[in-house]
Every structure is written in structure tokens, then in C-alpha cells.
Structure 1
């Protein structure tokens, strides 16, 4: 922006990213999640991630990326939803899957 004569502050650029997420990315994720939960089969897994300088948490505290994806044979809507959570409690999966009435395929973790 500066090269074309429009010097913008970091705050302005950061606000643009936040606004794009609020207006476009969050609604898109919600719609993908709704569509995923209408499918017959959903795969789920969680993997540890480390987030540095996370508010109110010590470094290095384990957090988790929960991943929910459409079934292998789903052809119309192949979807993968990533859900960051600060822990591995089954309540996170329960909240995301509360409206799901199909088959859930997992690795056997009892949190599902």
C-alpha cells in the first residue's frame, strides 16, 4: 500500500483482517459446519498444538485442533472443519456434534 502512495497503519490492516473474518470467514465456517452435520458419516480427530503467548495460559501449554471431515464417499460436499480448543475434553466434540445424527468415525478416544 505504501508503494502506491497509501501508507496504512498496522492497526488499520489488522482491523481489515478482523472485519473480513467477522463478515466472511466466520459465517462461511458456520455454514460448512451445518452442511457437514447433515451428512451420514463424519470423521473426527484431535491433535495437540502449541500456541505461544496465549492469554491466561502458561507456555508451553498443550491446546488442541479438533478436525471434523466428511465421509470418504461423500461426493457432493467434501468438507473439513478445524476447531481450535484449549483442551481435549469431550465437551468440545459434544458441542460441535450436538446436531449430528449419523455415524461418527474416530480413533476410539473416549471423549467422542
Structure 2
């Protein structure tokens, strides 16, 4: 569960290996699919606030993410699932399998 929300207990994000050449997009946010999860890439604008009903784990990641005053992510963030990556960028609960799409508009569910 810890890795799902960007906390590494037994591995580090540097252990990730790129497995897909195409970027994934959700609301103009870029994400890269890697061997053991998803990287929301630095330079993207992400949520600085969240809805009250969002899980405490997502809230904690949003609160602790390194972002500038404009909400621009200053470092890549790793997530074990597409849904947790989507929740991080929106501050809302999302279904990552249908929210993340490649540049042709095909959602992740259809790609995997």
C-alpha cells in the first residue's frame, strides 16, 4: 500500500524501468508507465487541494509533494496504480484505467 501512494519501503523510484515509449495523458498531465507502476513527471501542474472524501493516503501525498507556488511538480512521483496517480493529480477519486490515455486517445484499459 505504501508504494501505491509514492512511499517506498522496500524499493526506490530509481528501481523503475521504462516499458512503454508512449506517454499517457490525463487533463494535460503527462505520466510514464514503468515496470512497477506509473511516474507522474515533474513539470506538470498537480492538485494542491483535495476533496474531503479522498483517502487520507492521497491527502498525505498531495500535502507532502514538492511543488512550487504555481502547483508545478518539482520531482517525478511514483505510483503503483494508475488510479492513485490520477487521484494525486486531481485531488479527487478517479478510475485510472479509463482516465489515462495515450496521444491517440486510447485509454489505459484498452492498452493493457
Measured against the shorter chain, the TM-score band is under 0.3
Return the TM-score normalized by structure 1. Answer: 0.25
Return the TM-score normalized by structure 2. Answer: 0.25
Decide which structure has the larger Cα Rg and report it: 1
Greater relative contact order structure (CA < 8 Å, 6+ sep):
2
The structure that is helix-richer by fraction is 1
